[in-house]
Structure 1
């Protein structure tokens, strides 16, 4: 199933992407919220490998089955906080980008929960998972093998 294996990837490519992950992991953003974003963006992009990974990461944090199974319909459920809803809407909007700026009705509510510095981190985290999703869509790494803590 793999088109490009881990050994085919140019030296330094994943290491540099992981350096960005480390940078983001050391940001003031809540890890569980970021994992929720990563899972939702991966669902939107149809990235099976990343859905498997971030589902498992969220399970490891103690996330409930109810919220995990409802994430794909988060707007129709009462299980997500106002902050999570604002972030999920921003993540979805940034993921399905078009030729116009992010609308004010998507950006402005972020300011209720995040300062501009944190919005920069959040934006980078969303673009980073989109990068990973796109790589996996080309490489076709096999989903299901990811182990939390073992990568």
Structure 2
């Protein structure tokens, strides 16, 4: 896993890396990290009814991050969504050039 390797290189513990998928039950994340993970999860999961990011969730994230940091987090989440959309459309295959995804 490329991301996990980068995190290990940066000194993140195996416990934190492997518990991201179960962050809600994990003791390894701060309140700010939990707010960021909740925001990412809300944005990335389709909502059957209503909005994905509630006012309460936004307020929780805003409690942990100053305006500039919260804006940076929002743009980072937006970039992730952009690349998810590209992957869903182009269906890239490892080893195949992305210059012409329709080959």
2:29 to 80, 83, 101: 80
1:131 to 75, 82, 90: 82
Native 8 Å contact 1:86 1:109 kept in 2: yes
Native 8 Å contact 2:35 2:60 kept in 1: yes
For structure 2, the 5+ residue unaligned runs are 96-103
Classify 1:135/1:101 alpha carbon distance in 2 versus 1 (closer, same or farther; 3 Å).
Answer: closer
TM-score, normalisation: structure 2: 0.74
Q: What is the match of residue 38 of structure 2?
A: 89
Q: What is the match of residue 16 of structure 2?
A: 67
Greater relative contact order (Cα 8 A, min sep 6): structure 1 or 2? 1
Deviations 1:89-113 (A, max 9, x none): 0111111254526212211112222
2-structure distance, mates of 1:54, 1:63: 11
For structure 1, the 5+ residue unaligned runs are 1-51, 144-151
Runs of 4+ in 1 over 4 A off after TM superposition: none
Kindly indicate which of the two structures has a greater share of residues assigned to helix: 1
Q: RMSD across aligned C-alpha pairs, in angstroms?
A: 2.1
Give the greater-gyration-radius structure (CA). Answer: 2
Native 8 Å contact 1:70 1:77 kept in 2: yes
Classify 1:88/1:101 alpha carbon distance in 2 versus 1 (closer, same or farther; 3 Å).
Answer: closer
Native 8 Å contact 1:95 1:127 kept in 2: no
2-structure distance, mates of 1:135, 1:53: 19
